[in-house]
Every structure is written in structure tokens, then in C-alpha cells.
Structure 1
Amino acid sequence: MSKDAAPPAERVDGQLLRIAFILVLGTFMATIDATIVSVGIDTLTAEFGASVAEIQWVTTAYLLAVVAAVPASGWLADRFGGRRTWLVAVGVFLLGSALCALAWSATSLIVFRIVQGLGGGLLPATGQALLARVAGPSRTGRVISVVAVVPLLSPVLGPLVGGSILGVASWPWLFLVNLPIGAVAILLARRHVPAVPPSTRRTAFDLRGALLLSPGLAVLVYGLTEIAHGRTLPATIGVCAGLAMLAAFTVHGLRTRGTPLVDPRLFSRPPFGAAAFALVVLGASVFGTMFLLPLYLQTARGLSPWEAGLLLAPQGLGAVAGSVLVNRAIDKVAPRTLVVTGIGLILVGTVPFTQLGHEPPDLLIASALVVRGVGMAMITAPVMNIVYSRIEPAHLPRASGALNLLNIVGGSVGTAALAVVLQDRLAARGTDISWAFADTFWWVLGFCLLAAAGATRLPRTHVRKS
């Protein structure tokens, strides 16, 4: 067999697909809940008599809790086992969902969203690591190509599902809808998902790292959110404090003799560094676009949330088609080829949005979103496969937590940055709202070019899998 040839892949059987389906239910709940509430902001504002600035914390609190929880996912899986950690995370998420539905004020809802976010933050990372451990290196690529489409669908499906629920039911059902899904996931997981034993090498919890990393990320995201809201003083304090805490964590992670919560040295080891960079920029592009487009469609074109959700749905269809394509090609085509092609498709699909001032027809917008969806599916699965297939099984939980953390942070930072750019362009363009959005989408193109530069460092060839 030549050096460039991919080794034959083991068959992905029905049992593995069943496990993947069960674990993806948790990821589906956690990722879609980050966006499903967005269309209910007006309803919640009226229900609780709160201001928009206050009720916006319903979304922000969930995001900050997710960011705070993800770094601990690796240690928890090592200490208590992957399946047990995943089951507890589902339970915490369902508890938070039930409490949110019973909230009596904006403050109580925000507090309960934190509980929900702590469970939701653990689900994607622990689920992916557990699935990669069960699948083994030779089957990881194909099975990840199936489940990785879920986070790509959530920014599209969330507003659509939320709008549908509010069209037929009251606001508590935005949260109650999680309960039957989670209950089914727990029952199926206890029956079909194998128990992966905890790590034999017990490490002490990195308390100092946890006090620096999770709060540092949360404070940084808070500061960036305040920039988007135009509040200078809290934004400056948040960004500076967050960066200082992350710098202190990096120094701690390099100097500690124990096992850090997230090992900074991971990012200097190829191909982890390039893969992590690609996921950061992908998160900025995906979540940034899903922030800009619904806003454009509702403010500049006057569409309802339901109509905007329908117009955004083709990106989800493209992501499904892309996942099918990747599932067939991931063991035959070099990872870098897939990723660079995917970034190229995202670039092509983003170009029409830089011309929103000309009011492109709905068909062009839908077609561009299909192309973007295919491109996004061609990035996520190959990047994760590169990492999961080249790392020791014992290190999978921590690597998975780091990758998921970077994707979330990339989405948060990208969205906040684009919100600041949009504010500036709206001020500059005045009443020409469509061109202000078009100007902002040039920054999305810039994110894609950065991702392309990082992708050139990914492996040209497949690794031989045992």
C-alpha cells in the first residue's frame, strides 16, 4: 500500500449507529437550546415585564454556563467514566429545563438557565469522546461525519422550532420540549451505550486551573457581549479581566506538575493546533452568520421569525447532504483536501451576502445557504477525525473538551465581533440598512480566509489506523 493510500475502513454496523443516535440526542438538545429561545425574547419580555437588555441575559447566561462547564468535561469523564458523566449531564440539563418552565420572574429564569447550561455544556464533548472511544480509530471518521452535522443544524433549526412552538403553545414549552427527548435518551443510553471505565490513572482536579479558565472565558465572553451592546466600561473591564485570567491559566498549565484542566501544550502538537484553529474560525463563521442573517431578514426585509426560519432552512439541508458526502469520502480523501474544499464552498456561499444592498432574490439566498451548509459539513467531521484518530484513547475526553470549548468560544467571539462591526456600519450607512449588513459580511469572508490559512497545516495524507 502506498504512503498516500487510506487503509481499509472497518464497517460501521447497526449497533454503532444506534449508539451514535442515542448520544447525538444529548448534543441536539444542548446545541439547539442555545438558539431556540432567541425567537421568544419578545414574548418573555412581555411575560415578565422586563426590558430587552434584562431578558437578553436568558441567552447570555446559558452561553456563559456552557463556556464554564466545557473545560471540566474531560476530568469528569476520566474520573467517573464517559457514560456516567453523560447521563448525569442529561439529568442536570433536564432539571434546568423543568425549572426554566416553572420560572416566575426574569431573574429566576436567568438562574435556571445557568443550571441548564451547566448540563448542556458537558453533553457535546462527553458524547463525542465516548462515541470515538466506542468506535475506535478506524471507524471514528465515518461515524463522526454523521453526528457532527447536528451542531451545524442547531443555529438553523433553533429559531424555526422556537417559532413553531410559540405559534401553538405558551412560552414554557420552549423548555418543556426537552423533557421527553432527554427521558428517551437516558432510557436508551442505559440499555445500549456501553460503560467506558474511568481512567486508571486518577488525577487530582485542577482547582486553580478551573478558577482561572472557566471564569476567565465567561468574563471574556461577557465583556465581548457588552461591547456589542455599546457599554464601554463593563466591556473594557470584562475583556481585560478575562484575558488576564486566561494568560494566568496558560502560565499555570505550562508550569504545573499535575494534569491541567486543558493542557496548553496540546495546541503546539500537530495536527491539533491547526485543527483547533480551523474549528475556532468555523464557529465564528457559522454562528456569526446565523446571528446576522435572521436579523437582516427581519429588520431589512420585514419577515416574521417563522418566515426567516424557513428561508434559513436550506443551510440545514446542505449540511445533511454534506455529511452524506463526507461519510463516503472521509476514508478515501485526504483530510486537508476535504477541509480546504469545504472552506472554499463557504467562501462561495458567503459572497452573495456581501451584496445584500442589491436585495438578492430569495432563491439566491437559499442556494448560497445550501452551498455553505455542504461546506461546513466538509470541515467539522474531517477535523475531528484527524484529532480523534491520532490521539491515545485515554486522552480523548480532554481533547474533545478542548475542541468543543474552542468551537463555542469561536462562535461567541465571532458573533460579538460581528455585532460591533454591524453597529459601526449601521451608524455609517444611516437608513441604508441592507448595505450595512453587506459590509459586515466582508468580515465573515475574512474569517473564512483565516480558516483557509490554518487548514494548509493539516495533514496531506491519512494516518495508518490500527
Structure 2
Amino acid sequence: MTAQARTDDPGGAAAQESGRIGGRLLAMSLVLVLGTFMASLDATIVNVGLPALSAEFGASVTEVQWASTAYLLAVVAAAPMSGWLAERFGARRVWLGAVTVFLAGSLACALAWSTASLAAFRVLQGLGGGLLPPTGQALLARVAGRSRTGRIMSIVGVVPMLAPVLGPLAGGTLLEVADWSWLFLVNLPVGVVAMLLAVWLVPRVPAAETVSRFDLRGAMLLSPGLAAVLFGLTDIGSEERNPPMAVTALVVGSGLLTAFLVHALRSDRTPLVDPRLLRTPPVGAAVLALFVAAASVFGTMFLLPMYLQSGRGLSAWDAGLMLAPQGAGAVLGSLLVVKPLIDRVAPRTIVVTGFALIIAATVPLTQLADLTDGGLIATLLVRGLGTSMIASPVMTIVYTAVEQELLPRASSALSLVNYVGGAIGTAGLAVLLELRLAATGDVAASFGEAFWCVVGLCVLALAGALRLPRAGQRRVAPRR
């Protein structure tokens, strides 16, 4: 196949028609997932290095925490723009540009000389990181075609769910053998290899023939609004919260998001993120399932390390090892269950089964005092298996229901759902846990009550997943 053929027919018409996944498409998916993995992992890998950063810069852990907060704020600010950028410049070009920005930010972070400079460079890194997952997923769905989207998404869809599991473990491993700067420098060789392979393997998907004017008003409302809400939630969930500041951020952010919603519904032009997509049956139910799954996964990965260290006296490294089975279960489920079944079984069946497994594996966590280490490992394996059965089928439902013109915007919306769901889940459970610890002083019981809330979230998601389509759904056309 010539380079020109790859450009004009990126997925290979014959391969798309037959539904066959060739070696080139598989290799391309692995390259693109490297970008998603770097961006997702970097949201959590720095957390374990906060004490080292605090010692390096002579600052409190609270001040250094801004390094993580700044990254997340930049990610949610950049993600909504990925759809328009991909339409305007082409998804591959945007993806390569995002990797470049991310690597430049990583190098700058490694050279930071103060907490303020580190936070500023993390913003640069987050701007690139926020574009990588949605752009990579949209590009992959476009190249794979509808007949192969499900199986390909089973490979990449598990990556965002692995980040909260592998991030602390990877950070702890790096700090055992190197100084803090390698928390950022480790991205450089991975990113450079990903870019070189992408130039070789990823086809040039052309920009859209007609591109709407950039929604500047929407960008000025949506990105700051999301950042303010996320900041407020992060502050509420922190140990040294500032309630007036958090409430102010939440009020301002909610006002901006409300204004964006009014603007998007009334505008005659295509908004940055079109909320009308949520009113279509497959997209609305799919977004609810993904939102609650993210809240459950990120919330659990916030609760368990705290309990293992405070309740059982484990070190950060040992606590990370105890969490590894959930990541292993997610990988095994993705490769051995989701990939073979996703084109043979209705996606709704897989999602409902996944939530049922997560619920069954979360109930034992409500009785942590009686749960042995072996029981915890088995529970997390099952939970990881269930988690792997959510993201990929949900993305498949959305990507096969929308027209190709909407793939970049649908992908950016799903990424936002994942980030915001995780932030809300973590913040809500942090507040509940502190209230129960203050009221009872019983560590195991307080964590158990928090996990009952996780069970409730998953039951809600299971009810929502029952609204997903049994089989094929009409395609969602682009807004004119």
C-alpha cells in the first residue's frame, strides 16, 4: 500500500469491509495508546512524589500539591477544544502537536526551580495531555471504521482506568532508583518513540471539508468553568481545604457552565461541545455509565491506598503493590473477555455484566476489617475485570452511533466525562470519609461506609446501563 493510499483511505477499504484487524492497525492503536497512557498516568504519578518535591523546594506538601492540581485544570481546559482542532487541522497533526507540547512541558517540569515554576510548567504539560486521549481515540475510530471499532477500543479503552492504579506504583518505583526529576523525564523517551512510530504508522486523516468557526464565546465559558469546578472539588477533597475558596470556585464555575449551556442550546453555530448529543438515547445513557464508572474507579483508588497505609500500616510502595491486581484484572478482562465478545454480544450486555461484577466486588470492601489480604487481592481482580467491561463497550456504542464528522467532538466529550467523573467521585468520598472519621474515630468502619456509597454509585450506573441499546442504534447526524 502506498503512502498516498494510506492518506486517502486510512483504514483500508477492504479491511474495513471485512472487519479484519491487520498488524498495521494493531500497531497503530498501540502507538496512539502510548499518548493516552502518558497523559493519564501523569495525572497520578506525581502524587507519590509530593514529599520529595516538598523537600526539594522547601515548601509544604499543600503548596506542592498545586503541581497536580495545575495539571488537571489544564487538562480539562484543553480537552473541549480537541474536537474543533481535529476538524480544522486533521487529527494526526493535532495528536503530534499535543505530544510535542506534552514533552516540552515534561522537560520544563524536570528543570523547575520552585513550586511556582513547577505549577506553571505543569499547565503547559496539561494542555498537551488534555488533547491526547480524545484526539487519539477519535483518530483510531476513524481509521478502524465501524466494523472494527469495538475490538480496537477494547485495547485502548482500559488505559484511562489503569492510570489511577499504575500511577502511584510507577512513581514509587522511579523514586526508589532516581531523583524527583525522573517523574517527568521518563516521558521523554516514551514520547519520542511514540512520535516516530506515529509518523510511520498513523495515516494522515484529512481535515474536515467544512469547519465551523471556532466557538470563542463557548471556549471562554466552558474551559474556565470546568477548571473552576474541578478546582473547587479538588480543594474540598484535600486535607487542608479552604471552604470559602472552594465554594466560590464552585459557584463561579457552575455559573460559567450554565452560561455555556444556554449559549450552546441557543447558538446557530456548532458549539465547542454540543450538549444536544446527550439527548440521543445511546449517547446520554453511555455518558452516564462512563461518568459513574470513572467516579467509582478513581474514588476507590483514592480510598484504598489511604486505608492500607492508615488502617493496616503499609508503606506507600506496599500499598501500591496491593492495588496492582485491579490493573491486572482490567488488562486480562480487556484482552480475554471484551475483545473476543464485543462484536458478538450486544455492548449493553457487556456493560451491565461489568457493573454487576463491580458491585459484587465492592461489597466486600465495605467490611475491610474482616477482609484478609488474599480476599482483597481476589476482590480487586474481579473489580478490575468488571471495570474493563465498561469503557470499551461504552465508547463503541457512541463511536458507532455518530457520523464520522462528529467523532472528534464525541471523543472530547467522553474524555471530559472521565476527568470530571473521577474528580467528583474522589472529592465526594474524601469529604464523606473525613466526616465519618471525625464522628466515629473508627477507621475501618468509616472506610466501609464510604465504600457503601461506591456501591450505591454503581447501582445507579447499572440502572442507567439498562437504557443502553440492545443492538444497533440509528446514527447521530452532525448539527447543521
Please report the TM-score for the alignment, with normalisation by the length of structure 1: 0.96
How far the C-alpha of 1:226 sits from its partner, in A, is 2.1
Candidates 431, 434, 437, aligned match of 1:426: 437
User: 1:438 matched to which residue of 2?
Assistant: 448
User: 1:187 matched to which residue of 2?
Assistant: 196
How far the C-alpha of 1:9 sits from its partner, in A, is 6.5
Write the letter of the residue equivalent to 1:225: T
**The residue matched to 1:61 in structure 2 has which SS?**
helix
User: 1:382 matched to which residue of 2?
Assistant: 393
> Structure 1 residues 318-327 or 220-229, which shifts more?
220-229
**The residue matched to 1:271 in structure 2 has which SS?**
helix
Deviation string 1:134-176 (CA, Å, 9 cap, x unpaired) is 0000000000001112112111111111111000100000000
Cα RMSD (Å): 1.4
User: 2:305 matched to which residue of 1?
Assistant: 294
2: CA distance between counterparts of 1:189 and 1:32?
20
2: CA distance between counterparts of 1:449 and 1:456?
11
Candidates 209, 220, 244, aligned match of 2:218: 209
Write the letter of the residue equivalent to 2:361: G
Aligned partners of 1:9 and 1:139 also within 8 Å: no
How far the C-alpha of 1:357 sits from its partner, in A, is 3.1
User: 2:470 matched to which residue of 1?
Assistant: 460
Please list every run of 5 or more consecutive structure 2 residues that lacks an aligned counterpart in the other structure. 1-16, 476-480
2: CA distance between counterparts of 1:332 and 1:73?
32
Candidates 336, 360, 368, aligned match of 1:348: 360
Candidates 142, 157, 162, aligned match of 1:148: 157
Aligned partners of 1:271 and 1:386 also within 8 Å: yes
Deviation string 1:64-115 (CA, Å, 9 cap, x unpaired) is 1111110000000000000000000000000000000000011111111111
Candidates 332, 336, 349, aligned match of 1:321: 332
2: CA distance between counterparts of 1:202 and 1:156?
39
1:60 aligns with 2:69: yes
2: CA distance between counterparts of 1:74 and 1:120?
14
Alignment of 1:63-462 (within 5 A): 63-229=72-238, 230-324=241-335, 325-358=337-370, 360-430=371-441, 432-462=442-472
User: 2:49 matched to which residue of 1?
Assistant: 40
2: CA distance between counterparts of 1:323 and 1:120?
24
1: CA distance between counterparts of 2:215 and 2:473?
33
Write the letter of the residue equivalent to 1:109: L
**The residue matched to 2:409 in structure 1 has which SS?**
helix
2: CA distance between counterparts of 1:453 and 1:49?
49
Write the letter of the residue equivalent to 2:294: G
2: CA distance between counterparts of 1:19 and 1:463?
28
How far the C-alpha of 1:62 sits from its partner, in A, is 0.7
Runs (4+) of structure 1 exceeding 4 A deviation are none
User: 1:3 matched to which residue of 2?
Assistant: none
Aligned identity (percent) is 62
Deviation string 1:171-212 (CA, Å, 9 cap, x unpaired) is 000000000000000101011100000011121110100011
Deviation string 1:197-244 (CA, Å, 9 cap, x unpaired) is 001112111010001111001101111122223322111111111111
> Structure 1 residues 150-159 or 160-169, which shifts more?
150-159
Write the letter of the residue equivalent to 1:434: A
Aligned partners of 2:325 and 2:377 also within 8 Å: yes
Please report the TM-score for the alignment, with normalisation by the length of structure 2: 0.93
2: CA distance between counterparts of 1:192 and 1:72?
25
Aligned partners of 2:278 and 2:284 also within 8 Å: yes
Write the letter of the residue equivalent to 1:397: P
1: CA distance between counterparts of 2:252 and 2:456?
27
How far the C-alpha of 1:464 sits from its partner, in A, is 9.3
Equivalent pairs counted in the alignment come to 457
Deviation string 1:230-262 (CA, Å, 9 cap, x unpaired) is 322111111111111111100000011111000
Aligned partners of 2:282 and 2:473 also within 8 Å: no
**The residue matched to 2:281 in structure 1 has which SS?**
coil
Aligned partners of 2:92 and 2:204 also within 8 Å: yes
**The residue matched to 2:246 in structure 1 has which SS?**
helix
1: CA distance between counterparts of 2:402 and 2:414?
13
User: 2:13 matched to which residue of 1?
Assistant: none
